Amino acid sequence: MNMQKLLLLAMVGLLVSCSGENKDVIAKVNGVDITAQQFQAYLDFKRIKVNDDAHRELLLDQYLERQGLSLLLQQKQDEKARLLAQAELEDFQRQMTISRYFERYLKEAVNDEKIRNYYLSNPQKYSQEKVHVAHILLRLQRDMSEAERKARLTQINEIYSRLKAGADFAETARAESEDKVSSRKGGDLGWMKKGAIDVQFSEQMFALGKDEISAPFETPFGYHIIKVLDDAKTTTQSLESVAGDIRYLLRQQVKQAHEAELQAELNIEKVQ
């Protein structure tokens, strides 16, 4: 960041010294005019608070000495070094110009009202259906033989038969489920969002009512039996909780659209 500040300071100096305006010249450094506007721009950029005239004079002396050193060293550089420094300076100027422009533009274009309107116009994006579900899982491995897979299918069907006959789901999950995390909680997976996991699993859990148990079904994880512990409900995220995400989304959209508008105004001709 220090190098960027030095580059920007040097850029200001070059722009002012090359502008051809001698208005409000307060000093000459190696024959180059230094204006009051140039010095004030430096103070503003550095966010330096001037206490009194004596303090300003001290700051000016320090500024002129550093400006003089910069100009002297520029004169001592060879042509290649000067060109490299100029290329770096111009590239930084381009970056700063573009960055500062869009910073101001997007601040005005994407305000709190735009964010609120987007939130209200897209309620489905900020509403989530959830259901409280538990499951029993028998895992399937890719390298399992057909006989091993059939044995697992027979095992999950036997578990289902016991559940249908009245066996306690939580106790059965603790004893039989190979999902070690949820099995310790009786198979309880908590409140699961719609579409957050495998499609087949999601469809099954939202097709059931409270206390209903599904028939065994297969997902890429293995064979499952699920039980709905609480009916599905819809929760809505507050505007405050998603405002940052909406702001980012809108800024990206607005910036992309405005960049396209600006590109259309460009007139670039390559000289062969």
Confidence class of residue 12 from pLDDT cuts 50, 70 and 90?
very low
Does pTM surpass 0.75? no
Tokens of 270: 């390559």
Distance between CA atoms of residues 229 and 184, nearest Å:
16
Q: Tell me how crowded residue 183 is: count the other CB atoms within 10 A of its CB.
A: 21
Q: For the residues 107-111, what does the mean pLDDT come to?
A: 95
Q: For the residues 240-268, what does the mean pLDDT come to?
A: 95
Distances (CA, A) of 205 to 119, 173, 236: 29, 17, 20
Q: Which of 15-19, 103-107, 239-243 has the lowest mean pLDDT?
A: 15-19
Instruction: Dump pLDDT digits (tens) for 31-86.
Output: 889 999 999 999 998 999 999 999 999 999 999 999 899 888 888 888 888 888 88
Q: Write the single-letter amino acid at 79.
A: E
Residues in Cβ contact with 49 at an 8 Å cutoff, skipping those fewer than 6 apart: none
Is-contact 179 172, C-beta < 8 A? no
Confidence class of residue 23 from pLDDT cuts 50, 70 and 90?
low
Residue 91 predicted with pLDDT over 80: yes
Tokens of 65: 């000495």
Residue position matching structure tokens 């603790």? 174
Residue-level length of the chain:
272
Q: According to the model, what pLDDT value does residue 174 have? A: 97
Task: Find residue 111's DSSP bridge partners.
Answer: none
Q: For the residues 96-125, what does the mean pLDDT come to?
A: 95
